[in-house]
Amino acid sequence: MKTAPLFFRMLLLAAAPLLTDCSLVKQAPLAAADLATTGTSTEKPLTTGSQTDELDDYSEVSVGDPLEGFNRATFKMNDALYTVFFRPVSKGYEFIFPKPLRSSLDNAFENARYPVRFVNSTLQGKFKRAGRETGKFFVNTIFGLGGLFKTSDKIPDLTDVPAEDTGQTLATWHIPHGPYLVLPFFGPCTLRETAGMAGDYALNPVNWGLFWRKGGDWTRDWTAIPPAANTVRSLPDQLAKYDAAIENSVDPYISARSTYIQNRNAAANE
């Protein structure tokens, strides 16, 4: 039997979660309407509402956008793709799977990302945090039925451990963002965070089966199930973050760019 077309394999397997970790919103969603600016982006902390205290500590960082014309075209393409393909998939997933089951799946996949968090905590010299991540992983794996339940939340020292990723490690090593990019399918990113996303992908055990998969026959296509499932289960949350970034915005492209840069800078400072 022939393999599925490459296009559909890319949609399912290219990365997980989809819309990228580049869309991370680690604080409350930023007020997109206040972020509409033009030209090369000088990203400033927002000074509205309760977010002032959270964001005032982050220094102003200028991120160039030399490919703005191309990025805007890609942004429009992605927005259409989210609307016609990924939103229906997301709605179908939410309809079929009740919220408690979705939460358990989220817990399990996040538990599996332990190598991403452990390796990057270690590379940043945050050894105590790496130890806490190890404790969380073993508690949730053993007592949380493979990570389906966050049993670690009942242990004070293992709650609220800030997650680390490769992009944050590169920032800690003082590697600059580089130019701003909008990646097809994945969305907002920069050159540095693109490298970070590749590192996270390689470190995530969910994707490891794809690295040793040989040939194109369907007998090995079971290796595509974990990353495909990870992509689908992440859609509701990622689309919600995307919508929060562009809601009520005069220029959704600028709002998405500003939200992304601010939140990645905030993550690097955790």
DSSP result, 98-136:
-HHHHHHHHHHHHHHTHHHHHHHHHHTT-HHHHHHHHHH
Establish if 187 belongs to a structural domain: yes
Establish if 123 belongs to a structural domain: yes
What helix, strand, coil percent values describe the chain, rounded to 5? Answer: 65, 5, 30
Binned at pLDDT 50, 70 and 90, residue 234 comes out as very high
Question: What are the φ/ψ torsions at residue 112 (nearest 5 degrees)?
Answer: -65, -20
Q: Which of 17-26, 66-75, 160-169, 176-185 has the lowest mean pLDDT?
A: 17-26
Residue 204: pLDDT above 70? yes
Binned at pLDDT 50, 70 and 90, residue 53 comes out as very low
> CA-to-CA distance for 147 and 99, rounded, in angstroms?
16
Establish if 51 belongs to a structural domain: yes
Amino acid 23: pLDDT: 53
pTM for the predicted model, two decimal places:
0.80
> CA-to-CA distance for 142 and 208, rounded, in angstroms?
22
For the chain, the domain total comes to 1
> CA-to-CA distance for 113 and 106, rounded, in angstroms?
11
Residue 83: pLDDT above 80? yes
The half-sphere exposure of 44 on its side-chain side, counting CA atoms within 13 A, is 7
Burial class (CB in 10 A: 0-12, 13-18, 19+), 61: middle
Identify the CA nearest to 269 among candidates 83, 30, 27: 27
Task: Yes or no: say if 147 and 108 are a contact pair by the CB < 8 Å rule.
Answer: yes
Residues of the chain with pLDDT > 70: what percent? 74
Residue 5: pLDDT above 90? no
Residue 74: pLDDT above 70? yes
Amino acid 182: pLDDT: 97
Establish if 13 belongs to a structural domain: no
> CA-to-CA distance for 103 and 45, rounded, in angstroms?
32
- C-alpha 171 chain-centroid distance: 16
Binned at pLDDT 50, 70 and 90, residue 222 comes out as confident
Tally of helices (H runs) and strands (E runs) in the chain: 12, 4
Amino acid at 118: F
Establish if 55 belongs to a structural domain: yes
Establish if 9 belongs to a structural domain: no
Amino acid 219: pLDDT: 54
Tokens representing residue 138 in the block: 């073993």
Over the stretch 114-162, which tens digit does the pLDDT of each residue have?
999 999 999 999 999 999 999 999 999 999 999 999 999 999 999 999 9
Establish if 197 belongs to a structural domain: yes
Establish if 72 belongs to a structural domain: yes
Domain that holds residue 198: 19-24+40-268
Going 110 to 116 to 119 to 121, the CA torsion angle's sign is negative
